[in-house]
């Protein structure tokens, strides 16, 4: 994680430095187009692209961690590995299921969600236009939908 943060920080610093170079080149040329301003602009474009790539990589990392944490919590809940939290009633519901079976079901649900998002699950079936996003019980913000 530190590597990703460092890469993002470095890309940002280089991007800001390139932006400053463009402004300096414009000022020194009297706002005229010169080889120096063109070179500064090209460097700025390259640094912008590198910064976007670093942002995308950081976002992918955050999403993978979020998914892993959600999966671990789901497995803990389903297998009974988590004891009741203080102030929370412990309910006697369904018996715990195996973690392997739960992971298989979780993957199947994820694939169904992906298919529905891409429209392949609605051919010939009724569409649910009132649903703005797929419901994911692992994340509390989805429960509000």
The pLDDT value given to residue 95? 67
pLDDT digits (tens, 9 = 90+) for 85-99: 555 555 555 566 677
pLDDT for 32 beyond 70: yes
d(CA 130, CA 145): 10
What confidence score (pLDDT) does residue 144 get? 45
Q: Which of 76, 72, 79, 77 is nearest to 98 (CA)?
A: 79
pTM, rounded to two decimals:
0.52
Distance of CA 67 to the CA centre of its chain: 9
Number of other CB atoms surrounding residue 78 within 10 Å = 19
Strand intervals (E) in 12-106? none
pLDDT digits (tens, 9 = 90+) for 56-73: 999 999 988 888 888 777
- What number is the average pLDDT over the span 15-26? 96
Token pair belonging to 2: 């530190």
Average pLDDT over every residue of 16-33: 94
- pLDDT given for residue 105 in this prediction: 79
How far apart, in whole angstroms, are the C-alpha atoms of residue 49 and residue 12? 11
120 or 143, which is more confident? 120
**How many CB atoms are located within 10 Å of the residue 94 CB?**
8
Give the span between the Cα atoms of 42 and 136, in whole angstroms. 43
Q: Express each pLDDT in 109-142 by its tens digit.
A: 888 888 888 876 554 444 444 444 444 555 444 4
pLDDT of residue 133: 45
User: Are 102 and 108 in contact, with CB atoms under 8 Å apart?
Assistant: no
């Amino acid at each position: 994680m530190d590597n990703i943060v460092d890469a993002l920080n470095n890309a940002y610093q280089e991007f800001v430095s390139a932006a400053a170079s463009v402004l300096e080149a414009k000022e020194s040329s009297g706002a005229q187009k010169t080889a120096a301003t063109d070179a500064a602009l090209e460097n700025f474009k390259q640094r912008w692209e590198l910064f976007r790539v670093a942002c995308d990589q950081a976002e992918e990392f955050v999403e993978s961690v979020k998914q892993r944490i959600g999966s671990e919590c789901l497995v803990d809940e389903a297998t009974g590995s988590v004891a009741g939290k203080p102030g929370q009633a412990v309910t006697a519901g369904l018996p715990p299921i195996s973690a392997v079976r739960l992971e298989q079901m979780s993957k199947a649900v994820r694939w169904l969600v992906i298919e529905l998002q891409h429209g392949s699950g609605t051919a010939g079936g009724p569409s649910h236009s009132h649903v703005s996003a797929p419901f994911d019980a692992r994340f509390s913000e989805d429960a509000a939908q």
